[in-house]
Amino acid sequence: MNSTGDSFISPSTLIIDALKKIDSSETQIALVVDENKRLIGTVTDGDVRRGILRGIPLSAPVTEIMNADPITVNINDDKEKILSIMKLTSRRQIPVVDLNRVVVRIESLKDIVQTDRFDNWVILMAGGLGKRLFPLTTECPKPMLEVGSKPILETILENFISYGFWRIFISVNHKAEKLIDYFGDGSKWGVEIHYIRERAAMGTAGALSLLNQRPDKSFFVMNGDILTKINFQQLLNFHQEHRSNATMCVREYDFHIPYGVVKADNYALTAIDEKPIQSFFINAGIYVLEPQVIDLIPKNASFDMPNLFKMALDLRLNPLVFPIREYWLDVGQMSDFERAKKEYEQIFPGRQDPAGEDSE
């Protein structure tokens, strides 16, 4: 287990180096301290992602993104008080300091409540036809295509399991029985799997209207054809800490214009930008929603997630975006499928099957 000192960084530390510290630490936080270990600020994964959205480069110092007024607890506070503060402020970890603001330790919610399993639902959308991957998907659901000697959907399932999520729902339609026969009730993986049967294509959100029961807390929705190394616990923490009703994961996408872009004022040439690169954030097909958002989805109709988020925006339900900095690939086209097969062993090394034997 990492010691508190492993989370210390100086104000001059670069964001990219702070990120490495966060990712390697069990506490998932970096503490910015002076030479006497007095707390100056904190940096979390959420701070980094907010910085990305603001256009701050990872080569900038952490002072550009750190929380300079972090919530702390006193060395004399007991566990009950610390837990109360964590719940009140939606914090998963809090620095413990003495009267001089010298860091004594980091208190983690995980250590206090001692839980490794979470009841939040995971709903995986696997009912699409996968037309862009015909003929591979003629007799096989796209999420069941094998990458790294196992179906794409199995890799997604294993990722959620590794973060403690075990209540899984899978929407099925095209060649549904192949998928159901493979995953069954989930007992092979130590989880519960339930199925949402679409009678027709219902888009990326419509199947939520078919749920027989309603989730009682924040839940995930994810397209069943995405390979990613996203930290689902960090995503959930971000969603809950910001009290969002709907959070959409986004990915930065660079578009290279292969021509010189000319700017003009009437007939006068004002500038030429030779082969510029434009950056956008695109929908990454991964979401966290609150139960009440389901009420916005029309019953038994095709409905897509972008429309749901437009409604949430119009209703001022505080929809947010969560930038993905980890590996992400939408296996939507043949070129993406070939790329996934080439990259899998490097991105998901030593992945094991449910029996515990190396998949390699």
**pLDDT, tens digit (0-9, with 9 covering 90-100), for 72-86:** 999 888 877 888 888
Where are the domains positioned within the chain?
A: 4-113, 118-347
Looking at residue 89, the DSSP 8-state letter turns out to be H
CA 235 to CA 248: how far, in whole Å?
A: 10
Cα dihedral: 137, 201, 245, 31 (round 10): 0
CA 238 to CA 185: how far, in whole Å?
A: 30
Looking at residue 217, the DSSP 8-state letter turns out to be S
Count of H helices and E strands in the chain?
A: 9, 17
Per CATH, the number for 4-113 is 3.10.580.10
**pLDDT, tens digit (0-9, with 9 covering 90-100), for 253-283:** 888 888 998 999 888 899 999 888 888 899 9
The pair of structure tokens assigned to 330 is: 């939408």
Q: Which CATH architecture has domain 118-347?
A: Alpha-Beta Complex (3.90)
CA 157 to CA 41: how far, in whole Å?
A: 36
SS3 call for 222: strand
Residues 321 and 247 sit within 8 Å (Cβ to Cβ): yes
**pLDDT, tens digit (0-9, with 9 covering 90-100), for 119-174:** 999 999 998 887 888 888 888 999 999 999 899 999 999 999 988 999 999 999 98
The pair of structure tokens assigned to 329 is: 């690939």
The residue with tokens 């419509």 is: 206
The pair of structure tokens assigned to 149 is: 């000697």
Provide Rg for the chain, Cα atoms: 23
- State the DSSP string of 299-338: TTS---HHHHHHHHHHTT--EEEEE--S-EEE--SHHHHH
Entry field: residues in the chain: 360
Tell me which amino acid residue 25 is: S
**pLDDT, tens digit (0-9, with 9 covering 90-100), for 220-261:** 999 999 999 999 999 999 999 899 999 999 998 888 888 998
φ, ψ of residue 163 to 5 degrees: the values are: -100, 10
SS3 call for 171: strand
